[in-house]
């Protein structure tokens, strides 16, 4: 019995010692290396989502890319038939621009098949810019075949985004428009409903108006959550 009691006391002492080593003298869990790093440097990219979030868009993208699908833009994503995830946040990997957070959207009105005319807009939304690629498609059918012609050479010079009662008017170059911190905040806060955009084309000044779907609008919350407004 004395031997059994002595063995029990030894095991109990070892368990208590291990518990103290794990929890520390105050009963709190011991800090990991990451905890120490984030306590001393909360702006480090490894610390997003652990305490103070980083204000850097690149840091946000770096720490969340494991949870997002990666899109290699070695293909021409400007086509409405591009095989990429639409209306969901993704990490884009570009050989020139590196990696960045984005959401792609495509929308159109009319039908080249049924009415012979279709117009649409393919867009890319990133924390710093919006790329807009309008297109127009026509179709003519004979007895056995149909001939589809798509004009994707259109260039947008102005972009209007209607968010509730507010309309943001942007001037751009080569279908690319800069996202200001104020616009980023409005996009991030947009209700989960369709948003209307209107693109003014260079040259003849005609316009293409289309809707941005709810999935893309919801994804704006992810793409623009790391962009802070100016004081």
The per-residue pLDDT for range 218-228, each reduced to its tens digit, is 999 999 986 65
Clarify whether residues 76 and 177 are in a common domain: yes
Per-residue confidence (pLDDT) for residue 110, from 0 to 100: 59
The pLDDT of residue 151 is above 80? no
Per-residue confidence (pLDDT) for residue 173, from 0 to 100: 93
Q: pTM above 0.75?
A: no
Q: Has residue 143 been placed in a domain?
A: yes
Phi, psi of 73 (to 5 degrees): -90, 50
Clarify whether residues 74 and 184 are in a common domain: yes
**What would the pLDDT profile of 155-178 be if each residue is shown by its tens digit?**
999 999 999 999 999 999 999 999
Clarify whether residues 133 and 193 are in a common domain: yes
Clarify whether residues 47 and 161 are in a common domain: no
The token pair that represents 183 in the structure block: 């616009």
Q: Has residue 22 been placed in a domain?
A: no
**What would the pLDDT profile of 37-84 be if each residue is shown by its tens digit?**
444 434 333 333 333 333 333 433 443 555 888 888 765 676 667 788
Give the C-alpha separation, 182 to 189, whole Å: 11
| Contact between residue 202 and residue 170 where contact means Cβ atoms under 8 Å apart | no
Clarify whether residues 94 and 115 are in a common domain: yes
Clarify whether residues 57 and 109 are in a common domain: no
Q: How many structural domains does the chain have?
A: 2
Burial class (CB in 10 A: 0-12, 13-18, 19+), 162: middle
Clarify whether residues 76 and 62 are in a common domain: no
Domain membership of residue 83 as a residue range: 70-223
The token pair that represents 182 in the structure block: 């104020």
Domain boundary among 67, 94, 126: 67
Clarify whether residues 50 and 139 are in a common domain: no
Burial 70-84 (b: 16+ CB within 10 A, else e): ebebeeebbebeeeb
CB atoms closer than 10 angstroms to residue 197: 21
Confidence class for position 141, pLDDT limits 50, 70, 90:
confident
């Amino acid at each position: 019995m004395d031997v059994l009691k002595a063995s029990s006391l030894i095991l109990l002492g070892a368990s208590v010692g291990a518990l103290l080593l794990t929890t520390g003298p105050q009963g709190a869990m011991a800090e990991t290396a990451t905890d120490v790093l984030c306590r001393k440097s909360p702006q480090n990219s490894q610390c997003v989502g652990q305490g103070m979030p980083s204000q850097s868009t690149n840091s946000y993208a770096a720490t969340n890319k494991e949870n997002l699908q990666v899109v290699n833009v070695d293909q021409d994503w400007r086509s409405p038939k591009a095989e990429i995830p639409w209306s969901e946040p993704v990490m884009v990997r570009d050989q020139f621009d590196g990696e960045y957070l984005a959401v792609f959207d495509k929308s159109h009105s009319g039908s080249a098949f049924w009415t012979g005319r279709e117009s649409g807009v393919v867009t890319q939304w990133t924390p710093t810019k919006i790329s807009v690629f309008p297109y127009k498609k026509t179709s003519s059918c004979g007895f056995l075949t149909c001939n589809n012609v798509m004009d994707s050479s259109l260039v947008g010079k102005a972009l209007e985004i209607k968010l509730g009662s507010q309309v943001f008017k942007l001037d751009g170059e080569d279908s690319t428009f800069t996202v200001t911190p104020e616009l980023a905040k409005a996009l991030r806060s947009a209700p989960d409903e369709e948003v209307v955009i209107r693109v003014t084309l260079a040259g003849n000044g005609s316009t293409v108006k289309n809707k941005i779907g709810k999935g893309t609008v919801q994804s704006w919350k992810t793409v623009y959550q790391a962009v802070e407004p100016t004081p």
